[in-house]
Copies of this chain bind each other. A is one copy, B any other.
Amino acid sequence: MFNRVCIIGFGLIGSSLARGIAKHNLAKEIICVDQSRLACDRVLELGLAAKATTHPAEGVKGADLVIIAVPVGAYSAVMAAIGPHLEPRTILTDAGSVKQSVIEAVLPHINNDIRFVPGHPIAGTENSGPDAGFAELFMGRWSILTPLPDTDGDALHDVKTLWESLGAKVEIMDPKRHDLVLGITSHLPHLIAYTVVGTASDLEAHTKDDVIKFSAGGFRDFTRIAASDPVMWRDIFVNNQAAVLEILQRFNEDLTSLQRAIRNGDGQTLEDLFTRTREIRRGVIQAKQEVPPEKK
């Protein structure tokens, strides 16, 4: 399908892409670019790429597909480094969790020769680094593409086919809408989980020990979400500021009204909400975005 694929950033997503592309024979050659020499060495040890370099400009040479899979705050630097070295007609895509800011960071560095298809796979675990990836990460998951009005149709088709070959379902979406929807489904839950775990980590030592010991009551799930890569998430909040702050405001208003209901012993308001939220859960299960309920 592709001749030489250069993946920039070999974390969970980048290394899963490399494994998937190799497994399904979607490219003749995979080139790894990662800013960490240690990560590059590990990638070669794991046999995930034919070549691994810390120099982006060197990595993209001769590549007909370049995939950026670094934290969104690093796009400007990566683009400044690779922009002048991309082959004409190269397809450039990415896996960034925010789309408007990514597009703004990429466009100044490419000309009309480069076929840019912004993308974002909705897949992940709380683990990071080249060892964390696996070829099946995208199986049955959504991958959202947010093409621009002038995005090349063939390139869009090829990137779509790539994701489908890895088992993903592809959705085409406006970048602004992507940032709002993901703000609700991903960025807000992560921010909240980080806050809850942070609040707990400030407790006196004795209580903190008990919190860890008895974490099975719900807190445990929050610690899993709040174990996600710190730099990746720092960049997401800074780069999706407007959408996150807007959603956070709505959340705060809702939390304040629940707080008032608890203070007033207003059980009815609580029960009404707790009943209403079950409908959303049913939607999630029907949309097959959940594995069948396990006995935990």
* Chain A residues engaging chain B, CB cutoff 8 angstroms: 73, 122-127, 134, 136-137, 141-142, 144, 171, 177, 180-182, 184-186, 188-203, 207-208, 210-228, 230-231, 233-235, 237-238, 241, 244-245, 247-248, 250-252, 254-255, 258-259, 261-263, 265, 267, 270-271, 273-281, 283-284, 287, 289-290, 293, 295-296
Contacts and interface: CB of A to CB of B under 8 A. Distances in A.
What 3 A-B pairs are tightest by C-beta distance, nearest first? Answer: A186-B217, A189-B218, A230-B274
B234 A263 contact: no
Nearest to A136: B295
A284 B230 contact: no
A230 B275 contact: yes
A189 B221 contact: yes
**Number of copies of chain A assembled together:** 2
B251 A195 contact: yes
Given A125-B296, A265-B238, A284 B195 contact: no
A39 to B, nearest CB: 18
25 contacts: A123-B216, A125-B295, A127-B293, A142-B214, A144-B214, A177-B210, A181-B214, A184-B207, A185-B200, A186-B219, A188-B196, A192-B192, A198-B273, A211-B280, A212-B289, A213-B287, A215-B289, A215-B290, A216-B289, A223-B277, A223-B284, A227-B278, A234-B271, A234-B274, A245-B259
Nearest to A233: B274
Given A184-B211, A185-B211, A293-B127, A141 B195 contact: no
A137 B295 CA distance: 8
Given A245-B263, A270-B233, A185 B219 contact: yes
Nearest to A188: B196
Nearest to A276: B201
A244 B196 CA distance: 13
Most buried by B among A184, A207, A296: A184
A208 to B, nearest CB: 8
Contacts of A289: 212-216, 220
Contact of A281 (B223, B290, B293): B223
B181 A212 contact: no
B277 A220 contact: no
Contact of A207 (B180, B194, B222, B245): B180
A184 B245 contact: no
